[in-house]
């Protein structure tokens, strides 16, 4: 389809308005030319009236040229066939047929356009051949020029059709690319919201759970009515533990928010203050809440990329948070097994485990999402001998990146920790 005309204000003119303007312009040109020719040629009034009627029909049909291109081309051709032998004024009504023939090719009716051009040329040629010698209206040169014009009109219409189809395809591709870009932006925004939710959940959930357990234990001891000195010592110990835990929570929260404010960073990475290097501090805080946390390391630890290091830290942190809040366990064993291409984390407690038919909580789902994000895997469930086990495997490098290999003489990064006193059990929601 031919491109719509541009309005003076920069907008697009509707197709019907454009067709009306084209038909009006052609009618004006033909009418002016005919009026000028009438000054040099006279004919009966009836013929003049019939000629003007054919001009109106031929030019007026152009209004429907894009809706019925073949029919309009036939009407304009028939109007020319009747008009030129009848009228002595010989107005340029052929312009209407030329435009209709071009539109037929431009609208994709290429075969019909070729047929109409061939019929026109054949009819003109046969009509001239039948003329008496010396009475021909078109000589051989003019006939050849007419053939060239007809072929040119069909070829230009075909080229316009090809160009319009190409522009339409380009527009569709641009729209598809825009939709794909919007879908990717929505997906990125969703993934970023999930990442922020996991960070905030892990940072605040762990610390607030420890504060809750420490405060509850202190209130429980004070409720037994100890001596003033013992009560003051208990309250002081609990407040110091709460202060230290809340300080760590604020530090991690500031680090997380600081990373979120870095708008120019291509890929969000982990806060520098979190990683397996701080596993000892994490264990000490859990021990301060009454858990007996025991750690062990096998293999040779290697430096991890910051995102993977943070994921490993968060998995251990969330596991200890779940044990503190829900398990009622006395002992937790944290095992780090460093392999050639992956590190395996295993956090096992001796608590009551989770309900067999209960749904997994958001914390476990978040840990599994972290592991899958780096090409790893995580399973969580009740152990055969009692308790609950979280088992995670994380590659030493993100997918597609060359991973480091453990050195034979590298010392463990998280030394084994000594046991502490088991805690009292606490109740809470399912993990």
pLDDT band of 414, cuts 50, 70, 90 = very low
Above pLDDT 70, what percent of the chain? 76
- Model confidence band, residue 3 (pLDDT cutoffs 50, 70, 90): very low
Output the pLDDT for position 132. 62
- Look at 106-110, 211-215, 276-280, 380-384 and tell me which has the smallest mean pLDDT: 211-215
Please say if the pLDDT value at position 167 is more than 80.
Answer: yes
Q: Residues of the chain with pLDDT > 90: what percent?
A: 19
- pLDDT at residue 356 is higher than 90: no
What number is the average pLDDT over the span 287-293? 80
pLDDT digits (tens, 9 = 90+) for 110-144: 899 899 888 888 888 777 776 666 666 666 777 78
> Higher-confidence residue: 271 or 366?
366
Predicted confidence (pLDDT) per residue in 67-105, tens digit? 899 999 999 999 988 888 888 777 888 899 999 999 999
Instruction: State the average pLDDT over residues 289-307.
Output: 87
Provide the pLDDT for residue 331. 87
pLDDT in tens, 186-245: 888 888 777 777 777 776 766 777 777 777 767 766 776 667 777 677 777 777 777 777
> What number is the average pLDDT over the span 260-265?
55
Q: Is the pLDDT of residue 410 over 80?
A: no
The pLDDT of residue 403 is 45
Task: Inform me whether the pLDDT recorded for 10 exceeds 70.
Answer: no
Mean pLDDT of the chain: 78
pLDDT digits (tens, 9 = 90+) for 39-74: 877 778 888 889 899 999 999 999 998 889 999 999
pLDDT confidence of residue 393: 93
- pLDDT of 335 > 90? The answer is yes
Euclidean distance between CA atoms 321 and 307, whole angstroms: 21
Q: What is the mean pLDDT of residues 25-51?
A: 86
pLDDT value of position 347: 92
């Amino acid at each position: 389809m031919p491109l719509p005309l541009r309005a003076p204000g920069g907008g697009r003119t509707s197709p019907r308005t454009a067709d009306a303007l084209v038909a009006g312009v052609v009618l004006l040109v033909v009418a002016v030319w005919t009026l000028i020719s009438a000054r040099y040629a006279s004919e009966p009034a009836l013929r003049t009236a019939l000629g003007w009627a054919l001009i109106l029909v031929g030019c007026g049909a152009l209004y429907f040229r894009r809706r019925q291109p073949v029919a309009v081309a036939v009407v304009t051709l028939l109007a020319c066939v009747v008009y030129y032998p009848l009228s002595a004024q010989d107005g340029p009504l052929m312009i209407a047929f030329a435009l209709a023939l071009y539109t037929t090719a431009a609208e994709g009716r290429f075969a019909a356009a070729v047929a109409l051009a061939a019929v026109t040329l054949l009819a003109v040629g046969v009509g001239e051949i039948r003329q008496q010698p010396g009475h021909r209206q078109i000589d051989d040169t003019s006939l050849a020029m007419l053939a060239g014009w007809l072929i040119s009109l069909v070829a230009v219409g075909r080229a316009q059709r090809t160009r319009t189809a190409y522009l339409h395809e380009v527009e569709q591709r641009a729209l598809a690319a825009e939709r794909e870009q919007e879908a990717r932006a929505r997906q990125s925004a969703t993934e970023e919201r999930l990442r922020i939710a996991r960070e905030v959940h892990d940072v605040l959930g762990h610390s607030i759970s420890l504060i809750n357990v420490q405060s509850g234990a202190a209130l429980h001891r004070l409720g037994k009515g100890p001596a003033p000195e013992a009560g003051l010592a208990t309250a002081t110990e609990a407040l110091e533990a709460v202060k230290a835990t809340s300080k760590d929570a604020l530090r991690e929260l500031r680090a997380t928010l600081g990373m979120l404010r870095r708008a120019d960073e291509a890929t969000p990475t982990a806060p520098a203050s979190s990683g397996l290097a701080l596993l000892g501090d994490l264990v000490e805080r859990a021990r301060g809440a009454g858990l007996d946390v025991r750690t062990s390391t096998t293999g040779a630890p290697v430096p991890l990329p910051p995102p993977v290091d943070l994921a490993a830290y968060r998995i251990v942190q969330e596991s200890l948070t779940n044990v503190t809040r829900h398990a009622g366990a006395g002992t937790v064993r944290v095992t780090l097994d460093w392999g050639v291409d992956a590190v395996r984390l295993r956090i096992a407690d001796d608590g009551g485990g989770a309900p067999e038919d209960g749904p997994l909580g958001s914390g476990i789902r978040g840990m599994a999402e972290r592991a899958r994000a780096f090409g790893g895997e995580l399973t969580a469930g009740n152990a055969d001998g009692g308790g609950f086990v979280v088992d995670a495997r994380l590659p030493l490098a993100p997918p597609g990146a060359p991973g480091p290999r453990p050195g034979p003489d590298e010392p463990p990064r998280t030394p084994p920790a000594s046991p502490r006193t088991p805690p009292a059990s606490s109740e809470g929601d399912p993990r």
